[in-house]
Amino acid sequence: MEIRKNIFWVGAVDWNVRNFHGHTYTTKRGTTYNAYLVVDEKVALIDTVYAPFADEMIEKISEIIPPEKIDYIIANHVETDHSGALPRLLERCPRAKVVGTQKCKEGLYKNYYGNWDFQVVKSGDSIDLGRRSLTFLEAPMIHWPDSMFTYCPQEQLLMPNDAFGQHYATSERFDDETDQCALMEEAKSYYANILWPLGSVILKKIEEVKKMNIPITMIAPSHGIIWRKDPARIVNAYASWAANKTEASAVVVYETMWKATEKMARAITQGLTDSGVRVKLYDIAESDRTDVITQMLEAKGFVFGSSTHDNDMLPALGGFLELFKGLRPKGRVAFAFGSYGWAGGAVKEIEGVLQEAGVETAMPGIGIQYAPTAEDLKRCYEQGKAFAEEIKRR
Amino acid sequence: MAKYRCTVCGYIYDPQKGDPDNGVKPGTVFEDLPAGWVCPECGVGKDMFEKV
């Protein structure tokens, strides 16, 4: 698949992968591992694919040129979904030099223990391929310390590895060919679940690239669809998410034992709804964590509830909040609620996580013993309404 | 001498220890780190640090 004259997509579509990074990310639409082959006087491959797809990639390359002819393999990122095919490929092209950052060199060694010919590059370094060249831009923590972007000035093509990617398996390769809703939903999910805590680094990098004033007419990430119709669309979306732009909406996430906490969750949700705040309600024991975090990305308010069990919150919410805490969301407001039998504990534990995550507890927690009365539910409803006003006010 | 934390990865710069692997002698206060100094763990710049 030629994406520009003599630049080929030689990646793989992983239609059936449903869990990624262990079980931290649900890839309900599968994913792709994108590798790009630049055929010039010299030949460069930008990134590889996950190891189980090595043969598929090598076959695609072989249809274009003998793999032995590859001079450079650019490793933008050490993570195994992009470097996994490297050992196999290097058996076929022992002449090739691997190119990446110092941290990438160290990381690749610690993953594969190969003594490969490695060229360390820094921001601004470039490699001449003949008619074209490749210039590198280090991008630490977008999203690992080793990450870097590769830019081909003659083609105005940016290959930023995981940045601007989506876990989205498709037969089509370009943004103008695919379902727009699915594309943006997966791009948002990717940002929320992987890049959310790195917003400050991302904003700075976007500014840096804008100041460099380099034309970019195509962004080819390492997962999913290539942005060619409107690359600015995804850059602007990233700038907005990274700046923590939110809307007056809320997400209620709870776990319940005997439905008392669920009744409270519904009353709070009704209060928010009646005050004109868009709200999503999730029983986290039944819901997909990746989806919930995606919905939280643009919401201003979060409400977390759990029954008390062994003086603590329930385990599905506990696991979810552990994930949530690592996202360190900025500029959000929240409160906790839940039903308990005797001593209680869940509300306090949730508030502790909020503090650790740097999220402001904007309202007192609501704890209710056993099943809520009509009066208790009225209180939950009223707090939902008050929280809606708080969300609108901020 | 104040310590500084990398807000991205959590690394703590301790001026008493400096960052000898990257040519920063022990006793160097954070403010005196060169402009191009980056977090030795994750590679982001000085401006991503906050005082502990």
Residues A215-229: pLDDT tens digits? 999 999 999 999 999
CB contacts of B47 in chain A (<8 Å) are 204
In the prediction, which pLDDT does A138 show? 96
In the prediction, which pLDDT does A212 show? 94
- Smallest CA–CA distance, residue A147 to chain B, in Å, is 10
In the prediction, which pLDDT does A145 show? 96
- Smallest CA–CA distance, residue B2 to chain A, in Å, is 22
Q: Identify the active-site residue in A25, A36, A146, A223.
A: A223
State the pTM of this model.
0.95
The pLDDT tens digits of the residues spanning A355-376 come to: 999 999 999 999 999 999 999 9
The pLDDT tens digits of the residues spanning A125-138 come to: 999 999 999 999 99
Question: A276: burial class by Cβ within 10 Å (0-12, 13-18, 19+)?
Answer: exposed
Q: For residues A272 and A264, is the Cβ–Cβ distance under 8 A?
A: no
Angle between helices A346-357 and A315-325 (to 10 degrees): 10
Contact (CB<8Å) A200/B7: yes
In the prediction, which pLDDT does A27 show? 98
Closest Cα partner for A311 from A282, A284, A338?
Answer: A338
Q: For residues A51 and A88, is the Cβ–Cβ distance under 8 A?
A: yes
Q: pLDDT band for position A304 (50/70/90)? A: very high
Contact (CB<8Å) A141/B9: yes
- Interval B18-28 mean pLDDT: 96
Decide: helix, strand or coil at residue B51.
strand
Contact (CB<8Å) A140/B43: yes
The span from the CA of A218 to the CA of A164, in Å, is: 12
Q: Among residues 145-204 of chain A, which lie with CB inside 8 Å of chain B?
A: 145, 197-198, 200-201, 204
**On the CB side of A33, how many CA atoms lie within 13 Å of its CA?**
24
Active site residue A50: no
Say what the ipTM of the complex is. Answer: 0.85
Amino acid at A170: T
B10 and A CB contact within 8 Å: no
Domains detected in chain A: 2-242 (3.60.15.10), 250-393 (3.40.50.360)
Closest Cα partner for A137 from A126, A128, A129?
Answer: A126
The pLDDT tens digits of the residues spanning A47-106 come to: 999 999 999 999 999 999 999 999 999 999 999 999 999 999 999 998 999 999 999 999
In the prediction, which pLDDT does A374 show? 98
Q: What is chain A's mean pLDDT, rounded?
A: 97
- Interval B23-45 mean pLDDT: 94
Q: pLDDT band for position A39 (50/70/90)? A: very high
Q: Give me the residue from A103, A197, A204 closest to B43, CB to CB.
A: A103
- Interval A289-317 mean pLDDT: 98
CB contacts of B43 in chain A (<8 Å) are 103, 138, 140-141, 145
The pLDDT tens digits of the residues spanning A238-250 come to: 999 999 999 999 9
In the prediction, which pLDDT does A263 show? 98
Q: pLDDT band for position A153 (50/70/90)? A: very high
